[in-house]
Amino acid sequence: MMLPGLELKNPIMPASGCFGFGKEFAPFYDLSELGAVIMKAATGEQRFGNGTPRVAESASGMLNAIGLQNPGVDAIIEHEIPFLREYDVPVIANVAGSTVEEYVEVARKISRFVDALELNISCPNVKEGGVQFGTDPALAKHVTEAVVQVSQVPVYVKLSPNVTDIVQLAKAVEEAGASGLSMINTLTGMRIDPKTRKPIIANQVGGLSGAAIKPVAVRMVYQVYEAVDIPIIGMGGIETVDDVIEFLLAGASAVAIGSANFKNPLVCKEIIEELPQALRSYGFTSVEDVIGGAHRETATTGVLRT
Amino acid sequence: MKREWMTIIEHEPIARNTFRLVLQGTIANDVREPGQFVHIQVSNDFYLRRPVSIAEVDREEGKMTLLYKLMGKGTEELSNKHVGDTIDVLGPAGSGFPLDEIDSNHALLIGGGIGVPPLYQLAKQLHEKGVPVTSVLGFQSKEEAFFTKEFEEYGDVRVVTNDGTLGHRGLVTDVLEGSFDTYFACGPTAMLRAVSEKLDGMQGYLSMEERMGCGIGACLACVVPANDEKGYRRICCDGPVFDAKEVVLS
Ligand SMILES: Cc1cc2nc3c(=O)[nH]c(=O)nc-3n(C[C@H](O)[C@H](O)[C@H](O)COP(=O)(O)OP(=O)(O)OC[C@H]3O[C@@H](n4cnc5c(N)ncnc54)[C@H](O)[C@@H]3O)c2cc1C
Ligand SMILES: Cc1cc2nc3c(=O)[nH]c(=O)nc-3n(C[C@H](O)[C@H](O)[C@H](O)COP(=O)(O)O)c2cc1C
Ligand code: FES
């Protein structure tokens, strides 16, 4: 299947920040089996990220505040992308920054080496930048326009769920020239340890991911699908092949799997293998057949597909 | 490193809230060094795996022993598993104590609480190499103490408890005197800092703890600042064992 800039063998890809730059997962399976790989965020300079602890478990999910730690765009181009390029898999670069200039610099440099960009205007874990670009439609539009202008490859904008009206944001970045959307990033949250009486995560707040956010993500994909004409990469709490189908029915054209890779490093490969059978069992003939299906379904009674 | 359903072949309490768990499976064949750990998915209800050190390994028989203390939901649920059950294990993870590089005339091992387990396999292998071993084992109290007899098989043991109910009353740093040339320490960061300050100048190795996400080096949840250009290390894969000069303890 084809999405802007991406020729996908299947609609499954690991989500940004949960797969590093691929090296750590290569011992577990052949990365060429993936639909695509979304790399960890790149910023203009090296960043060391937040203090530790950076993760905390919660019911059906986890909080993280890594803080965009990465070796910087030049080091990623030199040391990380060549490794992924040895595999027969499209590579998407996650572009982050604190200023429009930084986003533009990273996008200009890295876009020549990858198949698409995922513009991260939604990272809740850095004080400077990231999330305010993702919560203000005018700012989101502005940074998207600037990045689209310098990028040599299609730009997918990664939306934050920490907003009142996600449709407004989605429309703003579509207008700005985004080729696609990816959604959702994590929801801001906090956990406090009764023993220490303090937040568990050093950064105090972190981003909630995992099964706990899946219904929120599905709802947002469903709403945005009705409002835009660009494809959506859906994510948030996917752990099983049924979760994938749920996102496709809501309107995603492909999906990304994040924290579930921590539970099971083989999860992407396993879901890819299970997908054809699952599609058949629900009466679909192809992935395309599923996309947005929930918006078209007219059967009034429970369908007898099993 | 691989993921495997390992079989529980022994599981018993050995001290207050502390258990000995013996697992069978091929991950045990892959263990390279003492100080490596496994990442356990206690059940599918947990989002994060629990890191637990390999306290003893029999590579030929494909068996390994873990010693763990109840600290919260994950370890509590682990303690309810029975002999014959299988559990989802990722491992062997991390880099352990670099035994091949170590040339010591008398090694000092320092463990605090749940930092004691990885030192057991280390004591055994140092002993097999002919290195004299002195082990300093710190616990909160007598009820919490474990494996003090087992360590005696491989050298001198100095037991320390916070309340004095067993051995010396005080902290592990009270009893570090002796003519040692290399030390190996595992325990809470505060203890590691105190030990490394006290033994400043001696060749030392520290095994560190941090909350983990992936446990395989991909997510950068488990970093510790380092004294070089790179600026950080990942405890789950560059460690958990580091040269004491390599990392910055906060
Ligand atoms: C490399 C390494 C080796 C370890 N070896 C042992 C061992 O041999 N025996 C043993 O008893 N314990 C060991 N620990 C500590 C053990 O991982 C924690 O006690 C355990 O994860 C607590 O889980 P819980 O669900 O019971 O506690 P909870 O407090 O409910 O756990 C909540 C979350 O915090 C994490 N967490 C809590 N305490 C720690 C900690 N000290 N270190 C890392 N993560 C923590 C848990 O993994 C989980 O993700 C080791 C830790 C590390 C990093
Ligand atoms: C540890 C961790 C690090 C992350 N890092 C990034 C990042 O660098 N850039 C980004 O756009 N999203 C990042 N995310 C968000 C994920 O890509 C994903 O949008 C989110 O976790 C929801 O998916 P999930 O529930 O499958 O994890 C990170 C998530 C986690 C758990
Ligand atoms: S726990 Fe993910 S890098 Fe160490």
Cβ separation B48–A210 shorter than 8 A:
no
Ligand 2, residues at Cβ distance < 6 Å: A 15-18, 40-41, 64, 66, 68, 94, 120, 123, 158, 185-186, 209-210, 213, 235-238, 257-260; B 213, 219
Residue A268 is among the residues annotated as catalytic for this protein: no
The CATH number for B2-93, chosen from 1.10.10.10, 3.40.50.10090, 2.40.30.10, 2.30.30.170, is 2.40.30.10
Q: Which of A119, A123, A212, A218 is catalytic?
A: A123
Residue A25 alpha carbon to ligand 2 centre in Å: 16
- B interface test, pick of A23, A28, A39, A52 with most B CB neighbours within 10 Å: A52
Interface of B with A (CB under 8 A): 1-3, 41, 44-49, 88, 90, 210-225, 231-232, 237, 250
**pLDDT value, residue A263:** 95
CB A31 within 8 A of CB A84: yes
- Sign for the pseudo-dihedral over CA of A170, A175, A176, A182: positive
Nearest to A45 by CA among A81, A99, A123, A117: A99
Strand-pair category, B156-161 with B168-169 = parallel
Which residue in B48, B217, B231 is closest to A55 by CB distance? Answer: B48
Answer whether residue A303 shows pLDDT above 80.
no
Q: Which residue reads 């637990």 in tokens?
A: B52
- 0.80 surpassed by pTM: yes
Predicted pLDDT of residue A301: 61
Instruction: Give the whole-number percent of chain B exceeding pLDDT 90.
Output: 92
- C-alpha span between B40 and B104 (Å, rounded): 33
Whether B240 is in the pocket of ligand 1, judged by its Cβ within 6 Å, is yes
User: Token pair of A25, please?
Assistant: 């997962």
DSSP string, A106-171: HHHHHGGGSSEEEEE---TT-SSSSHHHHH-HHHHHHHHHHHHHH-SS-EEEEPPS-SS-HHHHHH
User: Residue A88: is it exposed, middle or buried by C-beta count within 10 angstroms (0-12/13-18/19+)?
Assistant: exposed
pLDDT tens per residue, range B88-136: 999 999 999 999 888 899 999 999 999 999 999 999 999 999 999 999 9
What count of other Cβ atoms lies within 10 Å of the Cβ of residue A289? 12
Q: Where are the domains of chain A?
A: 2-289
Backbone angles phi, psi at A217, to 5 degrees: -65, -45
Residue A272 has pLDDT above 90, yes or no: yes
pLDDT digits (tens, 9 = 90+) for A118-149: 999 976 655 555 567 889 999 999 999 999 99
| Residue A256 alpha carbon to ligand 2 centre in Å | 10
Q: Which pLDDT band holds residue B229 (cuts at 50, 70, 90)? A: confident
User: What was the pLDDT predicted at A125?
Assistant: 57
User: Percent of chain B beyond pLDDT 70?
Assistant: 100
- pLDDT over 90 percentage in chain A: 91
pLDDT of the residue at B178:
87
Q: Which CATH architecture has domain A2-289?
A: Alpha-Beta Barrel (3.20)
Whether residue A49 and residue B210 make contact (CB cut-off 8 A), yes or no, is: no
Mean pLDDT, to the nearest integer, of B30-54? Answer: 95
Domain extents in chain B: 2-93, 99-243
Q: B220, B227, B228: best mutation site toward chain A, by most A Cβ within 10 Å?
A: B220
ipTM above 0.90, yes or no: yes
Give the chain B residue nearest A237 (alpha carbons): B47
Q: Residue A305: its pLDDT value, please? A: 58
Helix or strand run (H / E) with residue A209? strand A206-209
The overall average pLDDT reported for chain B is: 95
**Measured between alpha carbons, how far is residue A179 from residues A26, A94, A146, A233 in Å?**
29, 15, 14, 11
Asked if B144 and B16 count as a contact pair (C-beta separation under 8 A), the reply is: yes
Q: What is the pLDDT of residue B186?
A: 96
| A70 marked ligand binding residue | no
CATH tag, B99-243: 3.40.50.80
Question: For residue A130, with 0-12 CB atoms within 10 Å meaning exposed, 13-18 middle and 19 or more buried, which class applies?
Answer: buried
Task: For residue range B170-207, list pLDDT tens digits in order.
Answer: 999 988 888 999 999 999 999 999 999 999 999 999 99
Close Cβ partners of A175 (under 8 Å, ≥ 6 residues apart): A141
Judged by CB atoms closer than 8 Å, whether chains meet at B49 and A263 is answered as yes
What local confidence, expressed as pLDDT, does residue B250 receive?
76
Q: Report the amino acid identity of residue A203.
A: N
Among A35-44, A130-139, B22-31, B88-97, the minimum mean pLDDT is found in: A130-139
The beta-strand segments (E) located in chain B are 2-15, 18-24, 37-41, 50-53, 56-58, 63-69, 86-93, 107-112, 133-139, 156-161, 168-169, 182-186, 203-207, 223-225, 232-234, 241-243
Task: Report how far residue B114's alpha carbon sits from residue B147's, in angstroms, rounded to the nearest whole number.
Answer: 11
Query: Which of B49, B88, B220 faces A69 most closely, judged by CB atoms?
Result: B220
Q: What six digits make up the tokens of A293?
A: 């299906």
Indicate the pLDDT class of residue A117, thresholds 50, 70 and 90.
Answer: very high
Q: Is the pLDDT of residue B227 over 90?
A: no
